[in-house]
Amino acid sequence: MTNFLNVACKPFEGQKPGTSGLRKKTRVFMQADYLERFVQAIFNAIGGGSGKTFVLGGDGRFFNATAIQKILKMAAANGVSRVLVGQDGLLSTPAVSHLIRLNETDGGFILSASHNPGGIDQDFGLKFNTPNGGPAPEGITAEMYDQTLTISSYPIADAPDIDLSKVGEHAIGDMQVDVIDPVSAYSDLMETLFDFGKIRALFASGFSLRFDAMHAVTGPYARAILQVCLGAPEGSVLNAIPSEDFCGGHPDPNPVWAKPLVDLMMSGNAPEFGAASDGDGDRNMIVGRGIYVTPSDSLAVLVANAHLAPGYKAGLAGVARSMPTSRACDRVAEKLGIEAFETPTGWKFFGNLLDAGRVTICGEESAGTGSSHVREKDGLWAVLLWLNIIAERGQSVAEIMTDHWQEFGRNYYSRHDYEAVPVEAANQLMRELETNLPGLVGESFFGMQVVASETFRYVDPVDQSVSENQGIIVHFKGQGRAVLRLSGTGTEGATLRIYLEQYVDRDADHSVETQAALQAVKSAIHEITRIQALIGRDEPDVMT
């Protein structure tokens, strides 16, 4: 007989979910009642847990195992009927999305801070995905926050921990707990989308790859699919064992944090293809021999070539990108004659478009791409689509990019992150810029004339919901653009992100170094924002 306790608690400040759930320092989540109050707020916001089924898993970071046991016991006390949890508590974010949809569950709990570092003194996070497999929309996250302000107690089962090390069935009271293989269902889905035979033949021909799993959750998936199923040589997948602190690394797949892979790909000993994924498996980085592919360019190439993979031979319904992502994929959509949508940052904004069948492929500036196969971005999916394209075209990454730019022109693009900026200084910069927007048009800064400026406002074309103040855009004559926004994924101070873009046409020189091609746009936006005076910096902490 399982006993259920009702634990009295007091509200915590700041339990407001951001673009990807609630992220805080791990020690904040470890406070007594902190995690439990937020979990109960989720249950309350979705109408309770009675009789429902959920998926539960995370990226294996520090506190993941403890948090899963607490959530299981709270689920049982909330009357949940069944929980599917990944073996050892591991599930990638796209795998959770697929399992929700495959099993028609009532949603899923994902324990991760994505690309943020892990460890007791680093970051932790929790988000809830709805029955469509996607992140909870703003209406539900707003209700979660409202619930955190009023909850005075939560129920929890007084029961021993579940053994998550082996696949099998367990129970907490009347609730069934199924510990499942975290990889198999996801791998089966990938095989329906891509020509595994062609990719096997590619590796059999001697094609070389290095995939850096960054000591994170994608390691088991990449080894099972790339090495075991597709035949990539042993050792093709690097850093494949998930670690609670990512072995002291920062699991963000970009040229800064995945520098060893980038250095290898730029060396004389480079394999033909390089890739990386992040903490929870939803982001990706693509690197060819001697060439780094920006997330925006990768999205455009995938849209242009998706028809080469079996799952997309029928064509694409449309494409969507987050507003800060470069407009490279828009040019592809125009040629294909399909719709192109511009949304705020945050994968949840793609959900309605995907559910309505308006788009097939989506992408965002922070190395996230995915398709209608799930309702999350999917790092390994992007890698497999690239491999399918390479197998069909018989070209290197560099050759594919050269052909693409010659057909569509090149959108030079870079994201500059200014991290741990004092919150008030960051807010002042954004306030001043917004106030000055009307007077910028027609003015020139470092030879760049402003032709338009706006605060981005999004009206969802499916349900007509409105999202205000999603970032500031300054457009320059000659198809240059700068986007500024404050990120919602950091846990310390504010992260100011400035996205720089400059288009050059098909006949231009496409070999200019990226930062050099963007220097005029950078100088202009720095003068406009008074960045040095307001935050004391004129160079970013991270440049991708």
Give me the residue label for tokens 């309350």: 44
- For residue 272, the Cα-to-chain-centroid distance in whole angstroms is 25
Beta-ladder partners of 497: 417, 485
Give me the residue label for tokens 């915590």: 12
Decide: 500 and 494 in contact? Cβ < 8 Å: no
The first and second tokens of residue 175, run together, are: 């609730």
Q: What is the pLDDT of residue 365?
A: 87
Cα–Cα distance for residue pair 537/532, rounded to 1 Å: 5
Nearest CA among 46, 52, 44, 23 for reference residue 35: 23
Q: What is the pLDDT of residue 488?
A: 57
Q: Enumerate the active-site residues.
A: 114
Q: What is the pLDDT of residue 19?
A: 73
Decide: 156 and 5 in contact? Cβ < 8 Å: yes
Nearest CA among 86, 88, 50 for reference residue 174: 50
312 three-class SS = helix
Cα–Cα distance for residue pair 89/69, rounded to 1 Å: 9
- Phi/psi of residue 351, each to 5°? -55, -50
Instruction: For Cα atoms 359, 363, 365, give the angle at the middle one, nearest 5 degrees.
Output: 150
Query: Per-residue pLDDT tens for 350-381?
Result: 999 999 999 999 999 888 999 999 999 999 99
* Contacts with 22 (C-beta within 8 Å, 6 or more apart), sequence order: 15, 16, 38, 125, 126, 127
Decide: 95 and 375 in contact? Cβ < 8 Å: no
Q: Decide the pairing of beta strands 494-504 and 361-364.
A: unpaired
Contacts 24+ apart (CB under 8 A), 482-486: 482/521, 482/522, 482/524, 482/525, 483/323, 483/324, 484/430, 484/433, 484/525, 484/529, 485/324, 485/345, 486/426, 486/427, 486/430
Query: Per-residue pLDDT tens for 419-453?
Result: 989 999 999 999 999 999 999 999 999 999 999 99
Decide: 412 and 501 in contact? Cβ < 8 Å: yes
Q: Decide the pairing of beta strands 153-158 and 168-172.
A: unpaired
Nearest CA among 282, 290, 432, 430 for reference residue 364: 282
Decide: 226 and 237 in contact? Cβ < 8 Å: yes
Cα–Cα distance for residue pair 84/162, rounded to 1 Å: 12
DSSP 162: P
Q: What is the pLDDT of residue 18?
A: 82
The first and second tokens of residue 123, run together, are: 């970051």
Centre a 10 Å sphere on the Cβ of residue 152 and count the other Cβ atoms it contains: 9
Question: Residues in the chain with pLDDT < 50?
Answer: none
| HSE, side-chain direction, 13 A CA sphere, residue 543 | 9
Strands, DSSP E only, in 356-437?
361-364, 368-371, 410-421
Q: What is the pLDDT of residue 20?
A: 80
Query: Per-residue pLDDT tens for 12-28?
Result: 999 999 878 999 999 99
Centre a 10 Å sphere on the Cβ of residue 155 and count the other Cβ atoms it contains: 18
Q: What is the pLDDT of residue 252?
A: 93
Centre a 10 Å sphere on the Cβ of residue 11 and count the other Cβ atoms it contains: 12
Q: What is the pLDDT of residue 347?
A: 87
| HSE, side-chain direction, 13 A CA sphere, residue 114 | 27
Q: Would you state the torsion angle of the CA atoms of residues 292, 58, 377, 197, taken in this order, to the nearest 10 degrees?
A: 80
The domains located in the chain, with CATH, are 3-180 (3.40.120.10), 186-408 (3.40.120.10), 410-543 (3.30.310.50)
Nearest CA among 193, 427, 190, 462 for reference residue 348: 462
pTM: 0.93
Cα–Cα distance for residue pair 362/384, rounded to 1 Å: 16
Q: What is the pLDDT of residue 492?
A: 67
Give me the residue label for tokens 């746009």: 521
